């Protein structure tokens, strides 16, 4: 993985928080292998997906010609797409909402946790970022109150790239939302959920290669680089 300047750690507890998530991706928790009745769920919201009604219909691809899309459009509101990804088993869950928030997130959690095998699981780890729908210790306690076998794990601040659901969202952006050309929210929701069903049928777990040890080495190099810059500046 290549780190840009924007990826440099900004969370004072970056390494332990990130390492816990990387361990889950490797099937480990607290130094011990996950059991057959343990699950890891990566979840987030793709917020404010704009509905754009093009003034004129686009033209399909032709010989030597890319698809053409009218640049003028009318706004038709926005939709939030809530999704959860079973990291080890490549299962997808999702729903569309008019807004994000605690209750929409609760509905996504219900969608997963009221199904087997998650309902009867020993532990279901929920990996989320620090968005307002699921932020802080209060959110951890709230999730555990909803389902006693659910354990929320936050990514470090400014490190949403650690959340695997973002990989799926990038696929959705390319395959479903580009170009953005929908007459209404119903058609957009239908397209999102149909693609979700299609993708789940062909999906395999993402090949996540970055490990705790890899991250430790990267952070050590960054630290050495920073020290060298400080010496140079002095």
Query: Residue for token digits 């170009």?
Result: 179
Q: How far apart are the first and last CA of the chain?
A: 31
State the pLDDT at residue 1: 45
Looking at the structure of the chain, the number of domains it has is 1
β-strands 28-29, 32-33 pairing: antiparallel
Q: Is residue 19 part of a domain?
A: yes
pLDDT given for residue 228 in this prediction: 59
What phi, psi does 184 have (nearest 5°)? Answer: -160, 175
Q: Which residues pair with 153 in a beta bridge?
A: 127
Q: Is residue 213 part of a domain?
A: yes
Dist CA 41 CA 165 (whole Å)? 9
pLDDT digits (tens, 9 = 90+) for 92-142: 999 999 999 999 999 999 999 999 999 999 999 999 999 999 999 999 999
Residue 2 domain flag: no
Report the pLDDT value the prediction gives residue 57, as an integer from 0 to 100: 75
**pLDDT per residue over 152-208, tens digit each?**
999 999 898 999 999 999 999 999 998 888 889 999 999 999 999 999 999 999 999
Residue 170 lies in a domain: yes
Q: Are 51 and 188 in contact (CB under 8 A)?
A: yes
> Is the model's pLDDT at 3 over the cut of 60?
no
164 lies in which domain range? 8-54+71-223
Residue 49 in domain? yes
5-43 pLDDT, tens digit each: 335 667 888 999 999 999 999 999 999 999 999 999 999
Residue 233 in any domain: the answer is no
Note the Cα 219 to chain centre separation in Å.
23
Give the confidence band of 60 by pLDDT, cuts at 50, 70, 90.
Answer: confident
List the alpha helices (DSSP H) in the chain. 14-25, 102-113, 136-146, 165-175, 185-202, 212-233
In a domain? residue 14: yes
CATH of residue 193: 3.30.420.10
Where do we find the tokens 């807004």? 99
Work out the pLDDT band at 55, boundaries 50, 70, 90: low
Please indicate, yes or no, if residue 86 is contained in any of the structural domains: yes
Tokens 């569309």 locate to 96
């Amino acid at each position: 993985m290549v780190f840009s300047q924007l990826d440099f750690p900004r969370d004072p507890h970056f390494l332990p928080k990130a390492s816990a998530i990387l361990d889950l991706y490797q099937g480990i928790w607290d130094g011990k292998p996950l059991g057959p009745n343990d699950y890891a769920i990566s979840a987030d919201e793709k917020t404010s997906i704009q509905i754009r009604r093009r003034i004129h219909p686009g033209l399909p691809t032709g010989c030597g010609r890319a698809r053409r899309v009218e640049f003028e459009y009318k706004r038709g509101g926005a939709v939030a797409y809530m999704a959860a990804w079973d990291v080890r088993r490549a299962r997808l869950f999702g729903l569309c909402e008019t807004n994000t928030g605690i209750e929409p997130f609760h509905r996504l959690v219900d969608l997963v946790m009221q199904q087997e095998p998650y309902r009867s699981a020993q532990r279901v780890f929920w990996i989320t970022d620090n968005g307002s729908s699921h932020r802080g210790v209060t959110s951890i306690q709230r999730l555990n109150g909803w389902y006693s076998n659910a354990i929320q794990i936050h990514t470090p601040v400014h490190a949403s790239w650690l959340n695997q659901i973002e990989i799926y969202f990038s696929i959705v952006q390319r395959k479903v939302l580009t170009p953005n050309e929908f007459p209404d929210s119903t058609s957009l929701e239908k397209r999102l959920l149909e693609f979700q069903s299609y993708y789940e049928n062909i999906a395999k777990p993402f090949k996540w290669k970055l490990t705790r040890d890899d991250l430790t080495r990267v952070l050590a190099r960054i630290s050495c680089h920073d020290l060298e810059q400080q010496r140079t500046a002095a």
